[in-house]
Structure 1
Amino acid sequence: KRKQSLATTESRKSLRLDDREVAARKEKSISSAECGCCLDKFVKNEMVSCQEKGHVFCRSCIRKHVAEEVYSKGNSEICCILTDVCKSAFNTRELESALPQKIIEKMNNPQHSADEEKTEEVEC
């Protein structure tokens, strides 16, 4: 009976380890996401998502997208990068956390000439 009890205890320990491993894998997959633009994987809390559909983008792609919208097109309202399928805006605080101060200032003062500064085109 003692051998059976030890086997049961070992079996339970093994199950707990398996459960922890499954939980760790699940947590890892939950905490990372694929950028909808460059398709690289990033930690979710370092990404920006559109408000309505939840499309997520890395900070680098967001910076390029916003710079193009603000400097090249003169837009101060920034919509989702996936404009062909989504017209959703971004949460201002979340968006600004990913942007350099210079771009934020330009977004907030759109009356300056769009030709004032040029930026590279976004290729996604």
Structure 2
Amino acid sequence: MQWKQLGCDQIFWSVSKMMRGRRGRSLSDIVNDAVAYYLREQQRAKLDREISAYESMHSDLWRKFPKEWVAIHERRVADHDPDRGLLYRRIRETYGLLPILIRQVEEFPAREIWLRTPSTGAIS
């Protein structure tokens, strides 16, 4: 297996970046942190791809599974169920801890969220 397949070039880049601010940390701790960071970034990227797939498939999903929960894996519907808990259990039994997007199919692909934040009083 090649280093590139494992993403080791990115891990080594992370390690070298973290080594600059080492300050009493062992190399083992720095490598572990770099690998954990790399894996989190890979999971985040996978979920971003699944969200994009969900949005592009939304009209078909709404037609086939309105108000149901769907699991998206590798840009395809892996499973669906009206009960989120049952779907989650099946997905975990099948895929373990792999990041799988589970989302309820609503009328619109993205929900608009409004957050109230305290004013800083600053005027831009």
Report the TM-score when normalising by structure 1.
0.29
More helix by share: 2
Bigger-Rg structure (1/2): 1
Report the TM-score when normalising by structure 2.
0.29
